Amino acid sequence: MDGETGRGQKEALLVNGRVELLGQIPNSSNATFLVQLSCGDDSGWAVYKPESGERPLTDFEPGLYRRERAAYLLSDYLTWQVVPPTVIRNDAPLGVGSVQEFIAGDTNEHYFTLYADSPDTHPALARIALFDCITNNTDRKSGHVLRGDDGHVWGIDHGLCFAADFKLRTVIWDFAREPIPARLLQDMAPLAEAVPGNVAELLDDAEVTALQRRVQRLLRDGVLPVDRTGRRYPWPLV
C-alpha cells in the first residue's frame, strides 16, 4: 500500500466510520474522547472533541473543532504533515465535533525530550514552530508534540489557533532567529496572497486577513521570531 492510498483509507475511515466511545482522555481542558472507528473490515482509533464538551472561553467563540479542522487543512495545503488527518463529524455520539487520527507512540516523549535527546527531530520541530507562528497557536504545550511509532513528529491540539489578535504562546523557542528554510518559505508564500477556501470558510474575515499578515511578516523577516517578553509560554508547559 503506497502512502497516498494509506492516507486515503485513513481519511475515509474518519469520514465514514461508525464512531464508538471507548473512554474519556484525562487531563484535557475540554472533554476529549478516545473512539473506535469501524467501516466494513477497516477499523482504527481516533480522538473526538465534541463542541458540547468545550469549556466556555472569553477570547474564542464556541466551535473549537472548526479550528482543529482548519489547522489540518492548512497543514495539508502546505504539505508539511504537521497535523494528523482531522475531520468534522455531525453524527458522532455527543454531537458535532472534530475527529482526528489517533497517533500511537511513546507517551513519555514530548517536545522537551525530543529536542534534548533526538537531534534528528529538530527540522520537524522547527517546522512545527513555524506552523504555530502562521496559525497564531496560543497553546503549544510540550505534550502537544508527539512522535509516532513510525518516527514521524506531529503537532496536536489546535483548537486555540487563528485568532485575529496576536496570541502566540508556545514552548518552542529554541529555534528563534534561525533562518526559515527556502523550501518552507516557498510553500507558505501563496498564503500571503490568498488563504485556501476550505480553510477560510472555517474562520472569520478578520482571522483570514491576520493569517495573511503573519505570513507576509515571516516572509519579510525570513527567520523564526523571538519572544522578547519572556512570557509567551502556555501553562502548564507540558
pLDDT band of residue 2 (cuts 50, 70, 90) is: very low
Containing structural domain, residue 73? 3-221
Please give the average per-residue pLDDT across 29-37, as a whole number.
96
What are the pLDDT digits (tens) for 192-210?
999 999 999 999 999 999 9
Of 8-12, 53-57, 142-146, 208-212, the poorest mean pLDDT is in 8-12
Assess if residue 154 is contained within a domain: yes
pLDDT tens digit sequence for 134-178:
999 999 999 999 999 999 999 999 999 999 999 999 999 999 999
Q: Does residue 4 carry a pLDDT above 60?
A: no
The pLDDT of residue 27: 86
Per-residue pLDDT reduced to its tens digit, 80-139:
999 999 999 999 999 999 999 999 999 999 999 999 999 999 999 999 999 999 999 999
CATH code for position 24: 1.10.510
Total domains in the chain come to: 1
Q: Is residue 106 part of a domain?
A: yes
Asked if residue 100 is part of any domain, the answer here is yes
Q: Is residue 99 part of a domain?
A: yes
User: Residue 236: inside a domain, yes or no?
Assistant: no
Residue 231 lies in a domain: no
Which long-range contacts link 128-132 to residues 24+ away (Cβ below 8 Å)? 128/82, 128/153, 128/155, 128/172, 129/170, 129/172, 129/173, 129/175, 129/224, 130/180, 130/184, 130/188, 130/218, 130/224, 131/74, 131/75, 131/78, 131/80, 131/82, 131/155, 132/168, 132/170, 132/172
Whether 230 is in a domain gets the answer no
Q: pTM of the predicted model, to two decimals?
A: 0.96
Residue 226 lies in a domain: no
